[in-house]
Amino acid sequence: MTNFWLDLDKPFFALAPMEAVTDVVFRHVVARAAAPDIYFTEFTNATGWVNAGEKAVSGRLDKTDDEKPIIAHIWGSDPDDIEKLAGHCAQLGYDGIDINTGCPDKSAIKSGSGAALINNQPLTAEIIIAAKKSGLPVSVKARLGYSKIEEYSDWLGFLLQQDLAALTIHLRTKSEMSKVPAHHELLSSIVSLRNQIAPRTLIIANGDINDRSHGLEIANKYNIDGVMIGRGVFHNPFAFEKFEKNHSKKELLGLLDLHLELYDKRQGQQRKFETLKRFFKIYIRDFDGASELRHRLMQTKTTEEVRQLLGAHYK
């Protein structure tokens, strides 16, 4: 297996893994608007997949050959299950494995997964070793710590000792969730820590990064290798474009039309229609009548009803 991380121009830009958001459909919509350098999947639970197979993960590992490079973002607390799922991802043609150690969801914490791993370094090490058996490069997505930002030195220092291809840091603690501004000011110290412990591990910043221009500003200021954008695409689906420009109502509605088309083609039988509604606010914005149209779209029950409403707005 080749390590694609070594071939990336720096700074590179990644679409963040987001649960029930960065599925194969939405990744293609983002690619049409402005493609990132790297794609991450939504979250896939290793134990759920081992116990119930594809039925348990509802298409979370669906991908297409044009999504390159693409990383499988997985989570769990059982190293054996992680090993099995990572090996399966290698067979599916994924380019890398990304381990979640930062999810603050209560159910993940209760199972010893996600951010609970911050307080269980021995298990985290076992999970990383298990994922590496896939033969794919392994990265980790982490937070600064569990309760206090001061934990970052010990926690990230430990992760850097694990010979990772890349380390993405969501620059908040588990306790902070997303309620406070991301601590970008710590990036200089984190880069210094990386240089001391694991010079070959790439550092990726995540949290409160709006778009490519904002990411470039942060990357150049703190000398990081990459930038990951998550919620920024909810405010601007063109967040990864290299040259910023104004986008018309027709372009935004066109992206929604593409989303509907791909949903019908790939997910109509897998996911409930209600899951589509979280995306309407991405496309229905910044034009006269957008608020009213969003309200009406939230009342729809089928993609055909959505198309009928959109039809009048294309005129």
Catalytic residue positions, numbered: 103
Cα(12)–Cα(261) distance, rounded to whole angstroms? 29
Residue recorded with tokens 């409930």? 272
Cβ contacts of 19 within 8 Å, gap of 6 or more: 42, 43
DSSP secondary structure string, 257-303? HHHHHHHHHHTTTTS-GGGGGGGHHHHS-SSTTHHHHHHHHTT--SH
**Residues 60/90, Cβ–Cβ less than 8 Å:** no
Q: Tell the burial category of 210 from Cβ atoms under 10 Å away from its Cβ (0-12, 13-18, 19+).
A: middle
Cα 166–chain centre separation? 14
**Residues 73/27, Cβ–Cβ less than 8 Å:** no
**Residues 37/12, Cβ–Cβ less than 8 Å:** yes
